[in-house]
């Protein structure tokens, strides 16, 4: 299992896309969330979009490997998603924030963790604003979360600075393929 974490706006999604294109044996577990769907997102593809009541019910039923509140919404890794991929012999990538990463590391000690960070805080803020998927208040909440996340990067097995997408993707592929033995 590969945990990929790092602040919102660091470019995790882009680097993971490049990783999956090059390592066919890898797959991303689709998380559940209560946050509103963004334009272009599809239920069951980016996330399983649940309302608060349904998310709560699944928490009570013990269906999450980990779950958190992040910037006012709930997010969680479904045990069923992870199990399904592992049963099919695929290595699973979890794209999750810091507290989730800590919980999974505690539950799955042999998981490999990678932190993806921006070159610096100013660049992170610039990218979040340029992405324009969130309102100002939402961007502020994410930048607030990111300070804690950046302070914790030394906890991870590997760190990749997303200074240039191609270079950073190659570095990520190198790490993950070495750790999983997958073809690059």
Footprint on this chain of ligand 5GP (rule: CB under 6 A):
8, 31, 35, 66, 68, 70, 75-77, 95-97, 99-100
Q: How far apart are CA 36 and CA 107, in angstroms?
A: 29
Q: Least distance from C-beta 23 to ligand 5GP, angstroms?
A: 19
Question: Is 5 or 169 the residue whose CB approaches ligand 5GP more closely?
Answer: 5
Question: Is 131 or 167 the residue whose CB approaches ligand 5GP more closely?
Answer: 131
Question: Is 31 or 169 the residue whose CB approaches ligand 5GP more closely?
Answer: 31
Q: Alpha carbon 77 to chain centroid distance?
A: 10
Question: Is 70 or 169 the residue whose CB approaches ligand 5GP more closely?
Answer: 70
What angle do the packed helices 121-131 and 136-151 form, to 10 degrees? 150
Q: Least distance from C-beta 93 to ligand 5GP, angstroms?
A: 11
Q: Least distance from C-beta 107 to ligand 5GP, angstroms?
A: 12
């Amino acid at each position: 299992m590969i945990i990929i974490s790092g602040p919102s706006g660091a470019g995790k999604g882009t680097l993971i896309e490049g990783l999956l294109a090059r390592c066919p044996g890898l797959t991303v577990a689709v998380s559940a969330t209560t946050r509103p769907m963004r334009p272009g997102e599809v239920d069951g593809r980016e996330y399983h979009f649940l309302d608060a009541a349904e998310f709560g019910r699944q928490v009570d039923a013990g269906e999450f490997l980990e779950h958190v509140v992040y910037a006012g919404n709930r997010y969680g890794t479904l045990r069923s998603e992870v199990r399904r991929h592992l049963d099919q012999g695929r290595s699973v990538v979890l794209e999750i924030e810091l507290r989730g990463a800590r919980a999974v590391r505690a539950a799955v000690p042999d998981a490999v963790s990678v932190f993806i960070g921006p070159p610096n805080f100013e660049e992170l803020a610039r990218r979040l604003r340029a992405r324009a998927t969130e309102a100002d208040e939402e961007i502020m909440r994410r930048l607030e979360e990111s300070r804690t996340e950046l302070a914790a990067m030394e906890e991870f097995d590997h760190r990749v600075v997303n200074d240039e997408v191609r270079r950073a993707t190659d570095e990520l592929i190198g790490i993950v393929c070495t750790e999983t033995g997958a073809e690059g």
